[in-house]
């Protein structure tokens, strides 16, 4: 597709989203967002599959917060996507890298959302298209780590760094071992890559407990204390100088975990924290108003809409307003005073992608 064609597509998507926002904001749970879904196996937009009605889950076992917040629709992605693994906030915008889309699983997409304009645009594509790419921001740079070349399997070891100033990706030292669905965060001048999945199919495909630290000054990876239980598709973020790893899967979404650990780089040790109320994987996790908010994800015949938040001081979970459209393999990031959640699969597995973009706010 030419750059001009892609730009026209983005502009049309933004116009369509502006119209749909006025309508869908009234819809409540399970808003269908007609025309914002696509099959991995056949081109053309589709409606929300009927099976979603049996898979979508909204209720949380956690106590309800006094003020539950609300969800709003925002400009749809230019095209349906999923399995980007995560999103990042960078230079006040949300960046989505790689993933499934347009009947391929090795797309090099790099799309950027500007909340002030409520508009998406294209940025420099990844040098190597992949899904389940680990992404993080460290010292003003955006990093992309590993990923899968086939559908949630066959990982690669390539790593890249992007600077908005020159708009280019550069190759950095590869991972010591190929891995996909790696959780990445920046902390203390280093990039941390935690957990992930290796192998192709069958017994060779499994979650790992690897914990690697990358030093940009030396362009080298080093080992750190491994994750207590090997997991991938986790929610991972930094809070108060600690790395929190929340939930995820152990080899498969049939064996999701509710484990929650925090890592202290000063002692190189992991400590358990209060478990995630709803075990899940492929969810979003962000720090918003001093709490870890976890939303979305999947399990066996389940796609979760639960929006659960953790208070790191009280070591306590509460539930907030669930997502309007449950999804997994989505991108989530905090922009301004809102959590933005874009793309993702509305049904279990990777067979359907979405362009749905919704934002959560606390009044």
Residue 32 confidence (pLDDT): 59
Closest by Cα among 332, 334, 333, 325 to 354: 325
Question: What is the rounded average pLDDT of the residues 161-188?
Answer: 97
CA–CA distance, 83 with 101 (Å, rounded to integer): 9
H or E stretch covering 253: strand 252-256
Domain count for the chain: 1
Question: What is the rounded average pLDDT of the residues 69-86?
Answer: 95
Band of pLDDT at residue 339, cut at 50, 70 and 90: very high
Residue 34 confidence (pLDDT): 76
Residue 21 confidence (pLDDT): 33
Band of pLDDT at residue 204, cut at 50, 70 and 90: confident
Give me the count of residues in the chain. 363
Tens-place pLDDT, residues 94-116 = 999 999 999 999 999 999 999 99
Residue 20 confidence (pLDDT): 33
Question: What is the rounded average pLDDT of the residues 145-165?
Answer: 96
In this structure, is the dihedral angle defined by the CA atoms of residues 67, 73, 75 and 78, taken in order, positive or negative? positive
CA–CA distance, 95 with 117 (Å, rounded to integer): 15
Asked if pLDDT for residue 322 goes beyond 80, the answer is yes
Q: How much is the mean pLDDT over the chain? A: 92
CA–CA distance, 295 with 73 (Å, rounded to integer): 16
Structural domain range at position 274 = 3-361
DSSP code at position 11: H
Q: In what order do the strands lie in the sheet with 56-57?
A: 56-57, 302-304, 298-299
Percent of all residues in the chain with a pLDDT value above 70, rounded to a whole number:
91
Task: With 0.75 as the threshold, say if the pTM is over it.
Answer: yes
Asked if pLDDT for residue 14 goes beyond 80, the answer is no
Residue 24 confidence (pLDDT): 33
CATH number of the domain at 290, please. 2.120.10.80
Tens-place pLDDT, residues 308-321 = 999 999 999 999 99
Band of pLDDT at residue 12, cut at 50, 70 and 90: very low
Burial degree of 30 (CB within 10 A; 0-12, 13-18, 19+): middle
Higher pLDDT residue, 339 or 8? 339
Asked if pLDDT for residue 191 goes beyond 90, the answer is yes
């Amino acid at each position: 597709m030419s750059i001009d064609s892609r730009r026209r597509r983005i502009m049309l998507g933004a116009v369509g989203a502006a119209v749909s926002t006025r309508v869908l904001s009234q819809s409540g749970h399970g808003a269908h967002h007609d025309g914002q879904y696509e099959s991995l196996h056949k081109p053309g937009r589709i409606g929300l599959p009927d099976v979603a009605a049996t898979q979508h889950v909204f209720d949380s076992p956690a106590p309800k917060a006094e003020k539950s917040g609300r969800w709003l629709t925002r400009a749809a992605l230019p095209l349906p996507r999923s399995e980007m693994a995560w999103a990042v906030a960078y230079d006040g915008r949300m960046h989505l890298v790689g993933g499934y889309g347009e009947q391929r699983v090795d797309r090099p997409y790099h799309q950027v959302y500007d909340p002030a304009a409520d508009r998406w645009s294209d940025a420099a594509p990844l040098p190597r298209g992949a899904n389940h790419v680990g992404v993080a921001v460290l010292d003003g740079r955006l990093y992309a780590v590993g990923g899968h070349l086939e559908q949630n399997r066959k990982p690669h070891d390539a790593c890249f760094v992007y600077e908005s100033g020159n708009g280019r990706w550069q190759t950095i030292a590869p991972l010591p071992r190929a891995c996909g669905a790696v959780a990445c965060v920046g902390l203390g001048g280093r990039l941390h890559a935690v957990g992930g999945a290796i192998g192709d199919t069958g017994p060779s495909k499994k979650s790992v407990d690897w914990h690697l630290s990358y030093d940009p000054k030396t362009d080298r990876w080093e080992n750190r204390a491994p994750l207590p239980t090997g997991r991938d598709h986790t929610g991972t973020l930094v809070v108060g100088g600690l790395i929190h790893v929340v939930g995820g899967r152990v080899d498969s979404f049939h064996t999701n975990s509710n484990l929650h650990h925090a890592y202290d780089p000063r002692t190189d040790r992991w400590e358990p924290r209060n478990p995630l109320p709803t075990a899940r994987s492929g969810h979003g996790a962000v720090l918003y108003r001093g709490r870890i908010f976890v939303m979305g994800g999947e399990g066996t015949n389940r796609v979760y809409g639960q929006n659960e938040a953790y208070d790191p001081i009280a070591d306590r979970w509460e539930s907030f307003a669930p997502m309007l459209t449950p999804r997994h393999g989505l991108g989530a990031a905090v922009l301004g005073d809102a959590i933005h959640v874009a793309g993702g699969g509305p049904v279990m597995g990777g067979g359907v992608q979405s362009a749905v973009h919704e934002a959560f706010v606390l009044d």
